[in-house]
Structure 1
Amino acid sequence: MSHDTLISMTRNLIAHGAADTMEYADEVLAIPASTYTDPELFELEKRKIFRRLPLMVAPSCELPQPGDYKAMDICGVPLLLTRQRDGTVGAFLNMCSHRGNPVVTAGTTGNATRFTCGYHGWTFKNDGDLVGVASPRDFGAVDKAALCLKRFPVYESAGLIWATLDPESKLSIADYLCGYDDLLKAFEFNGWTLFAKRTLAGPNWKTAYDGYLDFYHLPVLHKDTFGADFYNRANYFSFGPHQRLSTPSKFAIKVSGEDDQQMDLEKLADDEIPQEVLVQGVWTIFPHISIASFYGGGQRGALVSQLFPGETVGDSYTTQYYVMENQPETPEQVQAAHDQFNFLEIVVRDEDYATGKRQHEALQSGMMDRVLFGKNEGGGQVFHQWAAKLTHASDSELLDIFAAEQREAAE
């Protein structure tokens, strides 16, 4: 069924490209400028979105082997991810059950079967079990089984790992994804390798995320990098709050070795359309992920951008993961992959995020009461509507919202 959906989306793009048309939202949408600048709303978003909804916390290839781990902080919550002995992923509150000290330093990765707290020496297995209390006779009797690391809901699919930073969450991560992860499997990330990653500072998280949902700006803001004749149209496909956007066109470029070959997709049967064409464009996972395909040294790669709110309403940070189908081997391949990754840093840091910071500073003047999203900016419209809806939904309403999405998808 997911392959049929991919073909259907591709045929939609081909038909619109051949007709020189695109799909439009019903009307121009105005949203309050304070959506980006209100510090109280910002704190509410962190609690109701980032600390309540499933988040894509790592590509699977960042934790490929049993014992691999990663520690990170998300909106004030310390998270520890581990690849356990059986190959599954565990997600834990990175706080020792003795006094709350992190058992692993935030921002670190590595491989370990056990973690020992650096404060008093309590030791935990990488499945979260407490296995050692320092000086147990002096400390006193405790039930170690009741003092394991607190678990978060975790889910791995399509070569990506999700976790929910609420151990009591009743929202199924699979239900939240609305079947979108089945489509993401078309990237074939399982077995890919993590080539490089870095973290960039950005503007307000929604200001930053707007750019991933907007092709309208490409030939203007990126005229010196992508070119002034670059496309600025996109059709949008929604799966709950998650969206794919791609250019309506009957043509696609097939990369073969060092040569690029233009294909007329109208002339191809469904089973002749290459896999990389089926996943072209930008795939976003609400509320903070963008995935886009690229080539470095003639090899398939993808930029996975993971966006989180920062300390203040005007700040965010994005970790860029450059994942590749195959690890580059020759010096030329390695350099080409670095060149691609470095080019994308310039585009995002110096163009998208630099513009977003200027935009946010201007909006903070309070001199503009609303901003607009055109009929050709349907992705941004859908994103802001879902952000507002989920921010203000109660926990029970949240379950109802995604139960309704499941029923709609089944019809």
Structure 2
Amino acid sequence: MARDELLEMTRALIAHGKAGTMDLADDVVRVPASTYTDPDRFEREKARIFRRLPLMLAPSCELPEPGCYKAMEVVGVPVLLVRQRDGTMAALLNMCTHRGNPLAQGTGKGSRFTCGYHGWTFGSDGTLLAIASAPDFGTVDKAALCLKRFPCLERAGLIFVILDSNSRLSIADALCGYDRLLEHFGFRDWILFEQRTIPGPNWKTAYDGYLDFYHLPVLHAATFGSDFFNRANYFAWGPHQRLANPSRFAQRTGADEKLDLSQMDEADWPHDALLQGVWTIFPHISIASFYGGGVRGAMISQLFPGRTVSESVTTQYYVMERSPETEDQRQGAHEQFAFLETVVAGEDYATGKRQHDALMSGQMAHVLFGRNERGGQVFHQWVDRLVEARDEELPGLFRAASAAMPQEAVAA
């Protein structure tokens, strides 16, 4: 069971916390600085990672009902997500098959989409329903002019899409069983409280920060405090990772008191304690729990490469277990989300921008990831592996990663 795996990780965190130790990588790793700055490498990463692997394009609660849609551009590809009548999700290429004009913008609700250029109309499943002035236009095969559909899978209250309609990669296989653990957050029943989009530095520079507790008491001294922890144990499911502080202490939702888990029966461990830390979904998602207004919540950060090697764009979704019931709860949730903007945009991304600008000088050959930064090591190893992998090798890479995991975790 996935819960058993959560319990096992919590036991490991407690044991390290009591011993004052942490799980370390075998050695310090060097990563060429050019992997952050080379424009050609950047374009290969977009093409071979972001256009070939499953991407989490929306939390389910952003599109809660049949007919709800969301139009977005993902690494240059116009995508239209639409909740179908039966509750399933479709991911369509948001381009009219007449001349390529995008059919929808933003978010909304509707059962059909009419092109604003010439009036062709499509159903929510991408079927071409009508051609304006059809007798004048001429004879065409309408069935061959439906919108292109992308592979799509909804798991753990998250919507995953591969931007390759011919992909042979199974989204479920690429998740390596990680989605079964994410199910324990319960996102499928949560609500979307607020969201915003912020600019950032190079996508890997930005993502490195989500895989790193080492910087917390230094960079965030003014927000978290200089005595904040800087250690993390790392748990991996293929390229997907969880990092959590090795400690026997946990905090109950909405309460300031710290619980000593080592002094409690495991049956009494709060559900929150089993999910603490940061959960990352390769190549671009970070999930962290928060408790603004005393209501259980999480910030889901969705990171995409920008138009140049020096840019990225992050959408932050603040999702909550339930809607705030009082004005104090609403205010608390708003304040929590505003605080997180200060931390990420004002501290992490501002520092990442300065760091990336310095690397662009070409004066440093390598950057370092210490033994205490295993998450960054694993991330860059997977980036390198996937940039070089051929299309036909992708399914085998993820199957091999799952096979290397403990069998009880794979079957959970």
TM-score of the aligned structures, taking structure 2 as reference length: 0.98
Distance 1:163 1:62 in 2: 15
Distance 2:264 2:392 in 1: 47
Which secondary structure state, in structure 1, belongs to the residue aligned with residue 150 of structure 2?
A: coil
Would you say 1:245 and 2:261 are equivalent positions? no
State the partner residue of 2:376: 380
Deviation per CA, 1:261-316: give whole Å up to 9, x if none: 22111122222111111110000000000000001110000000000000000000
Which secondary structure state, in structure 2, belongs to the residue aligned with residue 190 of structure 1?
A: helix
1:2-401 paired onto structure 2 within 5 Å:
2-105=2-105, 108-256=106-254, 259-401=255-397
TM-score of the aligned structures, taking structure 1 as reference length: 0.98
- Deviation, 1:237, is 0.1
Deviation per CA, 1:3-24: give whole Å up to 9, x if none: 1110010100000001110000
Distance 2:249 2:202 in 1: 36
Which secondary structure state, in structure 1, belongs to the residue aligned with residue 355 of structure 2?
A: helix
Deviation per CA, 1:4-62: give whole Å up to 9, x if none: 11001010000000111000000000110001000000000000000111000000000
Which secondary structure state, in structure 2, belongs to the residue aligned with residue 49 of structure 1?
A: helix
Distance 2:277 2:405 in 1: 23
Which secondary structure state, in structure 2, belongs to the residue aligned with residue 8 of structure 1?
A: helix
Which secondary structure state, in structure 2, belongs to the residue aligned with residue 255 of structure 1?
A: coil
Distance 1:116 1:265 in 2: 57
- Deviation, 1:410, is 6.5
Distance 2:381 2:295 in 1: 37
Distance 2:160 2:325 in 1: 30
Deviation per CA, 1:101-124: give whole Å up to 9, x if none: 11112xx00111110001110001
Distance 1:214 1:405 in 2: 23
Q: Is the 8 A contact 2:173 2:395 kept in 1?
A: no
Q: Is the 8 A contact 1:265 1:273 kept in 2?
A: yes
Distance 2:402 2:290 in 1: 32
Distance 1:219 1:336 in 2: 24
State the partner residue of 2:400: 404
Runs of 4+ in 1 over 4 A off after TM superposition: none
- List alignment gaps of at least 5 residues for structure 2: 408-412
Distance 1:410 1:22 in 2: 21
* More divergent stretch after superposition (340-349 vs 259-268): 259-268
Deviation per CA, 1:174-220: give whole Å up to 9, x if none: 00000000000110111100000000000000000000000000000
Distance 1:96 1:327 in 2: 37
- Deviation, 1:405, is 2.0
Distance 1:375 1:55 in 2: 29
Deviation per CA, 1:211-259: give whole Å up to 9, x if none: 0000000000000000000000000000000000000001111134xx4
Q: Is the 8 A contact 2:34 2:365 kept in 1?
A: yes
- Deviation, 1:127, is 1.0
Which secondary structure state, in structure 1, belongs to the residue aligned with residue 149 of structure 2?
A: coil
Distance 2:154 2:146 in 1: 22
1:193 is matched by which residue type in structure 2? I
Which secondary structure state, in structure 2, belongs to the residue aligned with residue 36 of structure 1?
A: helix
Distance 1:297 1:350 in 2: 23
Which secondary structure state, in structure 1, belongs to the residue aligned with residue 296 of structure 2?
A: strand
- Deviation, 1:331, is 1.4
Deviation per CA, 1:116-166: give whole Å up to 9, x if none: 001110001111111111001111122222211100000001000000000
- The percent identity for this pair of structures is 66
Distance 1:260 1:361 in 2: 40
Distance 2:157 2:380 in 1: 27
Q: Is the 8 A contact 1:254 1:263 kept in 2?
A: yes
Which secondary structure state, in structure 1, belongs to the residue aligned with residue 257 of structure 2?
A: strand
Deviation per CA, 1:348-374: give whole Å up to 9, x if none: 001000000000000000000000000
Distance 1:87 1:269 in 2: 40
Distance 1:339 1:37 in 2: 36
Distance 1:121 1:350 in 2: 45
1:11 is matched by which residue type in structure 2? R
1:62 is matched by which residue type in structure 2? E
Deviation per CA, 1:74-119: give whole Å up to 9, x if none: 11111000001000000001011111111112xx001111100011
The count of aligned residue pairs is: 407
1:136 is matched by which residue type in structure 2? A
Q: Is the 8 A contact 1:255 1:261 kept in 2?
A: no
1:376 is matched by which residue type in structure 2? N
- Deviation, 1:335, is 0.8
